[in-house]
Chain A
């Protein structure tokens, strides 16, 4: 039993987030997943192991191949499932706000 494995640790790593995204589109074999990364195959395997251990990925035997697919239920248990999406918009809007605060069209600024 390994107490270090929790979902938050799992999604903290950028490669593992990329794996989740990849598998979210369709179930894939370890080989097909690894082919999308420059990282060495054993490293990808390790990431898959961690994701499987914390149940974000499920393995499914299909003939001789093992396919990985996303465990949507577990993904939703992650309290901040949509946090990266929110953060993306928050970052954009913060930028917008900063830019517009500095924006000075010059003379035509209305006095209220």
Chain B
């Protein structure tokens, strides 16, 4: 079976592209990025703020099993309904810094659509690190570990 979600991450580049075809009309796919209560469901995060418009911003917050909270935020640079969202994304309190995301939504047929997500990182090393993150059991664990590392004096 053809894989629905594809990742294209070329060696030595500071960007990657995620593509996915959906058995959903374009309008429904786009709505899943705009309606806060729907975003909450599929992203598994709390939406504190989501201003889906040019120069709008958003804030998500995820709580792990231990009750630790992790913040994510970004600003929306460009917003064209059913076509594209250009935005930044940042995990708060991590050394990863901000990344730039170009989301393009495309109609395939009346009942199918496609998402093209182009992410640009600050450096090649950072991109590779982000690709490795899910090796750990989910993003929460990654945060815990990183906070542990960041919170400690450098071992020498």
Asked if B134 contacts A88 (CB within 8 A), the reply is yes
**Cα–Cα distance between A110 and B82 once the two chains are bound (Å):** 15
| Chain A residues with CB below 8 A from B154, complex form | 26
How many residues from B make CB contacts under 8 Å with A? Answer: 44
For the complex, is B100 an interface residue (Cβ under 8 Å from A)?
Answer: no
Assembly CA distance A64 to B16 (angstroms)? 40
Give which listed residue, A14, A32, A96, contacts B155 with CB less than 8 A. Answer: A32
Closest to B9 in A: A82
Size bin of chain A's contact surface = 35 or more
Q: Does A75 have its Cβ within 8 Å of any Cβ on chain B?
A: yes
- Nearest Cβ on chain A to B58's Cβ, whole angstroms: 16
Interface of A is mostly: helix
Q: Is the interface of B mostly helix, strand, loop or mixed?
A: helix
Find out whether the CB atom of A84 lies under 8 angstroms from the CB atom of B134.
Answer: yes
Rounded to whole angstroms, the CA-CA distance of A63 and B129 in the bound complex is 28
Question: Which of A21, A25, A81, A92 has the most chain B CB atoms inside 10 A of its CB?
Answer: A21
Known A18-B137, A25-B145, A26-B149; further 13 A-B contacts with Cβ < 8 A: A17-B135, A17-B137, A18-B141, A20-B135, A21-B132, A21-B136, A25-B129, A72-B128, A81-B131, A90-B20, A93-B42, A95-B41, A97-B22
CB neighbors of A among B131-148 (8 A): 131-139, 141-142, 145-146, 148
Query: Please, which residues of chain B bring their CB within 8 A of the CB of A66?
Result: none
Segment from B27-35, B67-75, B85-93 that makes contact with A: B27-35
Measured CA separation A93–B7 after assembly (Å): 13
